Amino acid sequence: MKILSIQSAVAYGHVGNSAAVFPLQRIGVEVLPVYTVNFSNHTGYGAWRGPLIDPTDVREVITGIEERGVFGEIDAVLSGYQGGEGIGDVIIDAVARVKAANPDAVYACDPVMGNAKSGCFVAPAIPILLREKVVPAADIITPNQFELGFLTDTEPDTLESTLTSVDLAMAMGPRTVLVTSVERPDREEGTIEMLVADPDGAWIVQTPRLPMKANGSGDVTAALFTAHYVATGDAKTALERTASSVFDLLAATLESGARELQLVEAQEFYANPRMQFTARQVR
């Protein structure tokens, strides 16, 4: 499998491509990383150095890959944090060109905007760009519950309202929606859930909620789910594998006491997920 991953990069820590590439490689995926920013560290520190990469330069890198004749071999295009407004058009154009070369290729968009606790942390134009142009071009989207609400102009909280919001998101274009953090009031205390829906149904998986915040965990989640889903065509299996790997990555990070994801140390959990969580069908 080959994935063209158009995301941010940081030298220190693990977010964007710096979070997604290694887990994908560890499960046997050939990754073609294209960077949208080249920062010293993620912006959660409040200070960072390095450039946003001009959309023209990002396009040039993608064109150079196309000139090598590999677009027909790409199974998926993956995108995440978009540092500037022009990147969306570059990504959409890249998706169209990849699909022209391989009609079976899919586009997986992680519509990074923010979360319920911190609100939006991207430039004001980015959420609108995602909702109006990027998400409608996607086959798979992986929002958290906050981002799902923004995309659909809803406030999902219960299982039923989350499923309704998912349906609205699917009506925008994507065939598959993974909600990476479902926090419903009637869930078991000390847990958090992920939910996936596609034309075959909807499934939810529950894991313990760990007392931590880990930048980049959503990027790992989106990457692993995309690869597992493309490989198996089975949303339930992809959800269970992803939940298993990401939970163990987070548990290893918590145990280490480190702020940054212990991405390398947890590598065996990507290659051989323990499959300790079972998803249940909810539709």
Q: Which CATH number fits domain 2-178+215-235: 3.40.1190.20, 3.40.30.10, 3.10.129.10, 3.40.50.720?
A: 3.40.1190.20
pLDDT at 122 over 80: no
pLDDT attached to residue 89: 93
Q: What pLDDT, on a 0 to 100 scale, did the predictor assign at position 16?
A: 96
Is pLDDT of 269 > 90? Answer: yes
274: confidence class by pLDDT, cuts 50, 70, 90 = very high
- For residues 131-158, give the mean pLDDT: 94
Burial of 104 (0-12, 13-18, 19+ CB in 10 A): exposed
Q: What is the pLDDT of residue 123?
A: 66
Rounded mean pLDDT, 241-263: 97
- Minimum mean pLDDT among 127-131, 160-164, 235-239, 278-282: which range? 127-131
pLDDT band at 119 (very low <50, low <70, confident <90, very high): low
- What are 190-237's pLDDT values in tens digits? 999 999 999 999 999 999 999 998 999 999 999 999 999 999 999 999
Q: Is the pLDDT confidence value at 121 over 70?
A: no
Domain boundaries of the chain, sorted by first residue: 2-178+215-235
Q: Output the CA torsion sign for 16, 141, 159, 207.
A: negative
pLDDT in tens, 46-84: 999 999 999 999 999 999 999 999 999 999 999 998 767
Distance between CA atoms of 9 and 16, rounded to whole angstroms?
6
pLDDT at 104: 98
Q: Residue 118's pLDDT band (boundaries 50, 70, 90)? A: low
Average pLDDT score, the chain: 94
Q: State residue 250's pLDDT score.
A: 98
- Consecutive H or E run containing 228: helix 217-232
As a whole number, mean pLDDT of residues 91-108 equals 98
- In angstroms, rounded to a whole number, what is the distance separating the alpha carbons of residues 98 and 76? 9
Tokens of 152: 């659909």
Q: What is the DSSP string of 118-163?
A: TEE-S-THHHHHIIIIIGGG-SEE---HHHHHHHHT----SHHHHH
The bridge status of strand 119-120 relative to strand 106-109 is unpaired
